[in-house]
């Protein structure tokens, strides 16, 4: 939670000064409401950078939506909800002034620019937005919550720290919180592609309508495709329907954004797809609550962070310990004392190691230190000859850099070190 922000009525001359008389060069966004300008506004004792949203007189969103947003945001206070600094009314002008989000919208980063957004960052953005929706649904008041009604990627603003903040409350409605099934009868409004089919069909708006829209955003993040996409043949493709067809077939790879395929934990992907599918369930009662979504996304994020740590470069101080775990061991006690078990160290030809690592393929890199790189390879369990990928026995193969290539006596020290370690040594724990 964050402390309440100063909220005031801003004079029109302040708006004109901040926007340089609505100079087009200061426009940072456009929507159904109108244009958004970047400008400096007095907030308390200092100037702050603000986003200034001016109602277009020809917009379908009029005074009703304007006052709805003022009323909603004046009572909200959460780190994942955008802060309203003030508003301005002058003749026919209706203007809202928000805190400025330097990283724009999630929609902008996914669909408007060719910039990479890491999978971990996307997960954090989803979790932040989920926290915001959970707050709206459950924590705004004792007896009532808020249904956003127009939740979408273009209404998720990104702070300079990449914290997600939900914006645009012009279509929002209050809703009793004592029952999850409680609904509001209202004219159907929102954005195609994100609209809950059940709400569209019946006009009964529930918090589960926001959950459906959140599921669409999850697919946007995963696939990097628009909620409704125009195809070359002129037809429109609905992302939710398109993606769910592949999900039902178990064909996740076909829908994943190619930029993040190599970053994802398989288990994380499976759980992420599962929660998206649950959010999009045809029956609103079968969809999770946003509180449940938050818990699930937190566990998914933890899985991904654990997976990322496992991919970090291997510490060269323990590299031989890691290699020992993957080397063949004599288990018959033939060359050692009864019950003893020590590594059998073999000499490999360079050609065989090339084959085992697919010519030291970068995709098989396990780690890298100052002295060299460690690659994953496969050898036959009995003959130790190079085998097919995934077949035989997995081994770690360290290729030294030329400047760190050990002399013969160093090799002997290494072999001796491995040879004389007891099976219960620290190597097996490293």
Residues catalogued as catalytic: 150
334 to 331, 347, 424: CA distances (angstroms): 8, 20, 20
Residue 152, marked binder: no
CA–CA gap between residue 72 and residue 70 (Å, rounded):
6
Interior CA angle at 289 toward 287 and 290, to 5°? 120
CA dihedral 27, 29, 34, 38 (to 10 degrees): -40
Instruction: Return phi, psi of residue 340, to 5°.
Output: -80, 150
Task: Give the list of residues 6+ apart from residue 93 with CB closer than 8 angstroms, or none.
Answer: 12, 15, 54, 55
Q: Is 355 annotated as a binding residue?
A: no
DSSP lists the bridge partners of residue 209 as none
SS3 content of the chain, % helix, strand, coil (to 5): 40, 20, 40
CB 390 within 8 A of CB 378: yes
Beta-ladder partners of 81: 166
Picking from 105, 110, 107, 96, the residue whose alpha carbon sits closest to that of residue 36 is 96
For 31, the token pair is 């929507």
- Local structure of residue 347 (DSSP, 8 states): -
Decide: helix, strand or coil at residue 305: helix
Q: Strand, coil or helix: what is 146?
A: strand
Nearest to 190 by CA among 154, 227, 149, 137: 149
Place of tokens 């109108």: 34
Torsion of CA 228, 230, 231, 236, to 10 degrees: 60
Pairing of strands 144-147, 204-205: unpaired
Output the known binding site for ATP.
53, 398
* Binding-site entries: 53, 398
């Amino acid at each position: 939670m964050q402390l309440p922000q100063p909220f005031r009525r801003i004079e029109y001359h302040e708006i004109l000064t901040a926007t340089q008389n609505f100079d087009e060069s200061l426009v940072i966004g456009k929507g159904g409401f109108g244009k958004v300008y970047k400008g400096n506004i007095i907030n308390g004792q200092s100037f702050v950078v603000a986003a200034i949203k001016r109602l277009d007189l020809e917009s379908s969103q009029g005074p009703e939506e304007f006052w709805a947003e003022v009323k909603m945001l004046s009572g909200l206070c959460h780190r994942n909800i955008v802060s309203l600094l003030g508003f301005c009314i002058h003749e026919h002008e209706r203007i809202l002034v928000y805190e400025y989000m330097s990283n724009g919208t999630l929609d902008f980063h996914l669909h408007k620019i060719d910039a990479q957004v890491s999978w971990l960052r996307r997960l954090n953005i989803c979790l932040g937005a989920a926290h915001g929706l959970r707050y709206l649904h459950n924590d705004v008041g004792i007896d009532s919550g808020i249904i956003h009604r127009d939740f979408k990627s273009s209404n998720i603003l990104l702070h300079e720290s990449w914290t997600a903040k939900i914006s645009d409350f012009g279509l929002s409605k209050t809703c009793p919180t004592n029952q999850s099934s409680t609904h509001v009868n209202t004219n159907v409004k929102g954005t195609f592609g994100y609209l809950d089919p059940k709400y569209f069909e019946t006009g009964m708006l529930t918090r589960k309508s926001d959950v459906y829209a959140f599921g669409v955003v999850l697919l946007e993040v995963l696939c990097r495709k628009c909620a409704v996409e125009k195809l070359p043949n002129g037809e429109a493709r609905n992302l939710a329907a398109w993606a769910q067809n592949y999900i039902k077939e178990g064909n996740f790879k076909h829908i994943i954004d190619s930029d993040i395929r190599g970053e994802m934990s398989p288990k994380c992907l499976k759980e992420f797809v599962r929660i998206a599918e649950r959010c999009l369930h045809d029956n609103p009662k079968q969809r999770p609550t946003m509180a449940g979504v938050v818990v699930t996304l937190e566990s998914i994020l933890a899985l991904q962070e654990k997976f990322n740590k496992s991919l970090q470069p291997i510490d060269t101080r323990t590299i031989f310990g890691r290699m020992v775990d993957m080397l063949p061991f004599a288990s018959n006690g033939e060359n050692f004392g009864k019950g003893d078990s020590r590594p059998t160290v073999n000499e490999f030809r360079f050609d065989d190691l090339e084959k085992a690592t697919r010519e030291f393929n970068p995709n098989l890199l396990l780690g890298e230190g100052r002295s060299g790189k460690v690659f994953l390879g496969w050898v036959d369990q009995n003959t130790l000859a190079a085998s097919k990928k995934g077949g035989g026995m997995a081994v770690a193969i360290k290729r030294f850099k030329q400047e760190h290539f050990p002399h013969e006596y160093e090799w002997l020290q290494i072999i001796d070190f491995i040879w004389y370690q007891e099976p219960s040594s620290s190597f097996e724990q490293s």
